Amino acid sequence: MMKKLIYGFVAIALMISCTMQPKYKIEGNIAGLDSGSAVLKKIVDNKMVTVDSVIIEKGDFTFSGTVEQAEYFVITFADTLDGIQLFLDNVKITIEGEVDSIRDVVVSGSELTGLFNTFNSEMFNFSMQMRALYNEYIQINMGGGDPERLKAIEGEYTGIEEQQNEFITSFMSENSNSLLSPFIALNYGNAKYKNLEELEELVNVFGEEVSESKYLGEIKERITTLKNVAVGMKYTDFTMNDPEGNPVSLSSVAEDKYVLIDFWAGWCNPCRVENPVLVENYAKYKEKGFEIFGVSLDKTRESWVKAISDDGLTWTQVSELTYWDCSVREVYAFNSIPHNILLDKEGIIIAKNLRGEALGAKLAELLD
């Protein structure tokens, strides 16, 4: 009898704990949108994925569920309609709007989404100012051009960009304890493109309240990656196929030589401009212990092989032919090409992004 009572109490406790779990509820009404579906999406691995989908009845739709922490979501409708951005947390949210002006819907109930909408409104104003200047610039150019006005527009545009960056920095600082701020840093504050020192400084801006944020976690992962490929660190080995389909490892050439890992692509004009510099230095220093390991971000074998032939690249070349999805892009923490890394004879990174005369000067220092 006692065991039955204990099991009963446990079952009741579990039921209570389940019903007390924080949940979100989104109740929306879009006047004029009488049918169709509302789709709730979020970003997973840099792609939008569907979390839930509901039928719209006379403009009404409802979503409910649970999020582990506040996160960026979008509600979408038909392809021709704008989406509704939310920074979703476990609260009740009300959305009211009209089908002809979904961008102007009123979202209430979520302090985070309200703050996000305030940020987006200011960003929209900057965007409109820059768009107006861009359109004016194009029109003047098409009409024969007024050099003085074109120069003035360039200055005005740069000024607005600077104001926008100052606003983003100020917003993150003023809201350092908000879960929204690390998201802003990643998606508007160019955190993915900052160097190690800048990122470490950025992390110090955020308060303890956001220490568990998934977005702050992504920034910290980026810091770890940059540290792993900083000057003074050992290279990370990887293997890709050469143009004939044979697997080749970086370690197969990074032995007792100075090796330049060159990330490039046939479609990349700045890379192609830099290739003659590589050809010249390779011919000059190959016999003195210099090697190049080319890693292409091309999409097709045909374009890759043609670029190799056209530019006279005679060193080892490998590629996954996956464009920006190249697996070592995250490992070596680069977001643009050309990008290169110079290793010493022990495989230690000693320099990065040596281009033009800088590469020749460094090789002369090491090998002449």
Give the CA distances from residue 122 to residues 27, 103, 130, 189, 230, in Å, rounded to whole numbers and listed in that order. Answer: 26, 14, 13, 14, 37
Domains in the chain, ordered, with CATH? 20-109 (2.60.40.10), 114-228 (no CATH), 239-367 (3.40.30.10)
Give the CA distances from residue 166 to residues 151, 187, 193, 351, in Å, rounded to whole numbers and listed in that order. Answer: 23, 15, 17, 32
Here the contacts of 84-89 (C-beta below 8 Å, separation 24 or greater) are 84/28, 85/116, 85/117, 85/120, 86/26, 86/110, 86/113, 86/116, 87/112, 87/113, 87/115, 87/116, 87/179, 87/180, 87/183, 88/24, 88/26, 88/112, 88/113, 89/24, 89/179
pLDDT digits (tens, 9 = 90+) for 225-240: 999 999 999 999 999 9
Model pLDDT, residue 6: 45
Q: Is the pTM of this model over 0.85?
A: no
Quote the CA–CA distance of 190 and 248 in Å, as a whole number.
Answer: 34
What residues have CB less than 8 Å from 260, skipping those under 6 apart? 278, 290, 291, 292, 293, 340, 341, 342, 343, 354, 359
- Are 73 and 83 within 8 A, CB to CB? no
Q: For the chain, what percent of residues have pLDDT higher than 90?
A: 78
Model pLDDT, residue 20: 57
> What does the mean pLDDT of the chain come to?
91
pLDDT digits (tens, 9 = 90+) for 245-290: 999 999 999 888 999 999 999 999 999 999 999 999 999 999 999 9
Give the CA distances from residue 130 to residues 153, 156, 194, in Å, rounded to whole numbers and listed in that order. Answer: 10, 9, 23
Is the per-residue pLDDT at 204 higher than 70?
Answer: yes
Mean pLDDT of 63-72: 93
Model pLDDT, residue 8: 46
Kind and range of the H or E run holding 213: none
pLDDT digits (tens, 9 = 90+) for 101-152: 988 899 999 999 999 999 999 999 999 999 999 999 999 988 877 889 999 9
Model pLDDT, residue 191: 84
Is the per-residue pLDDT at 17 higher than 70?
Answer: no
Model pLDDT, residue 193: 83
pLDDT bracket for residue 9 (50, 70, 90) = very low
